[in-house]
Amino acid sequence: MIHSADQWLFVLRRHQIRDQRGLWINSFLRQLAFALVGMFSAVFVYEFGKTGLMDGGVAGGLKLLMVYVLLIRLVILLLVIWVGNYVIRRLGYRKSVMLSLVITSLGFGFLAWASRSGELAGVVLGAVMIGLGVCGYWPMWYTLMPESETEERMGRAFGKINVVVSISQALAPVAAAVIIGSLGFDKLFGVGIGLLMMSGLPMFFLRHHIHVDEVNWREFFYWSRESTFLQAGVAIGGKYVNDMVYADLWPIYLLIVVGSINNLGWFKAVVVLAGAGFAYLMANLFDKKADKKLQLLGVSGNMLMWVLRLWPKEPLQLLMIDGVDRFFGSITETFFQGYALRRAKGPETFSFAVYRLVWESFWGVVTLVVLWMGLSWFGVTVFWVMAMAMAAVGMAMSMMMREHHKQALGVSS
């Protein structure tokens, strides 16, 4: 029997450490799967589109890729609140995460089918399943991170996970390029399925979580009328636009320059590994002094790198720019996520986590529609200028994130 406040705190901290370890192992394996498949699924969809489904060539590949990402984000936008309220709250974290991993694996399976058969339906169904998988996974992650650590150690906890994720992402690109070159895209998706299912095992060791925090569209729009939450939504959306361009479109630009999937794999491995050490240093600094001036340095550097990316045509030049960009990116990522996770901490953490995905997806859909029109009306060259300019603007918008609510938010259901 527990008698003292110190004993209660000891037990709580022990549970929090267990949750953190589960998150570290899960993040490593899941991000390894997505590092293998994520960037190269974008390459696969791009190559699929080049065959002539949507104009053919580079423009056709980019259009199909944007449709693919747009479908993922539309599914999240329309369903994440429903999934949060009627699936995650009823099943709990462990079961909902396992369900999301199964659904995401089905998405990878559909992409493998598209690779073997050439059926466009495989790409479409893959996007829908991956979007559903996101709905079941990230609300858990964005909730458990703030719950499993104190505000004073939030940066350090995120930094540890970020380093773990960076190591997995550094290992994956070269391995993925080798698998594609020797066995094909379908085998790559098969390896991704295996890693995804393995990543679910640590979730069984999490403590049981009971949710009383409901989510619904009425509450989302109520929150959105409050200025500080609306400001947070703009910041979240801007950061996602930057991340989307970097994760989904930038690899295609690199592929065009470096000329082969194998070269692309080595390129990304070097860049990701270079940023891992910076990420941990920034995380520790965030806990000691969360200084907006340092965040401004990172954001300004990232914006400058987006401008510079338009000029070089040699792989070595792009490698240097991308490496410097990851230095600045380690600052912006740590400070943005640190502020966002600190802000989410509280009695309505789950709501904030779900609504964060709504904002990300809304801005993603808007950005993709604008880029589609730019590509259709002005061509590939203008498209790249637009994409990189929108990423830079999105990074500037991320500066609007603040740590705490200035007043309590909530509405009766």
> Which tokens belong to 107?
């998405």
**pLDDT value, residue 290:** 53
Give the type of residue at 159: G
Structure tokens given for 244: 């989307």
Residue 388 lies in a domain: yes
For residue 406, being part of any structural domain is answered with no
Distance CA(302)–CA(296), nearest Å, equals 10
Give the confidence band of 107 by pLDDT, cuts at 50, 70, 90. Answer: very high
The verdict on residue 5 lying in a domain is no
Q: Residue 210 gets which letter from DSSP?
A: -
Q: Which amino acid is at 235?
A: A
Q: Is the pLDDT of residue 48 over 60?
A: yes
Cα torsion 262, 389, 278, 400 to 10°: value is -140
| Domain membership flag for residue 170 | yes
Single pTM value for the model: 0.85
What's the distance, Cα to Cα, between the start and end of the chain in Å? Answer: 37
Tokens of 111: 């992409």
Q: What is the CATH number of the domain that holds 275?
A: 1.20.1250.20
Contact 216, 81 (CB under 8 A): yes
Residue with tokens 């619904």: 216
What's residue 86's pLDDT? Answer: 86
Nearest alpha-carbon partner for 40 in 216, 180, 228: 180
- The count of domains in the chain is 1
Distance CA 192, CA 357 (A): 23
Structure tokens at 117: 């058969």
pLDDT of residue 409: 44
The one-letter amino acid code at 15 reads H
Tens of pLDDT along 117-176?
889 999 999 999 999 999 988 888 777 765 555 455 555 555 555 666 666 666 666 677
pLDDT single digits (tens) 222-268? 999 888 889 999 999 999 999 999 989 988 988 888 776 776 766 66
Q: How confident is the model at residue 377 (pLDDT cuts 50, 70, 90)?
A: very high
Examine the pLDDT at 204 and tell me if it is beyond 90. Answer: no
Check residues 383 and 193 and name the one with the higher pLDDT. 383
When pLDDT is averaged across residues 279-302 and rounded to a whole number, the result is: 68
Amino acid at 377: W
| Residue 395 CA neighbour count, 13 Å, CB half | 30
Residue 206 lies in a domain: no
Residue 210 lies in a domain: no
3-state secondary structure at position 312: coil
In angstroms, rounded to a whole number, what is the distance separating the alpha carbons of residues 211 and 64? 39
Residue 370 in any domain: the answer is yes
* Assigned domain for 79 exists: yes
Report residue 372's pLDDT band, with 50, 70 and 90 as the boundaries. Answer: very high
Rounded-to-integer distance, Cα 352 and Cα 93, Å: 16
- Which residues have C-beta within 8 Å of that of residue 370, sequence separation ≥ 6? 386, 390
Domain residues for the domain of 22 are 18-198+215-400
State the chain's mean pLDDT as an integer.
79
Alpha helix (H) ranges present in 248-406?
250-258, 261-288, 292-308, 315-344, 349-378, 380-397
Q: Which two tokens stand for residue 310?
A: 């338009």
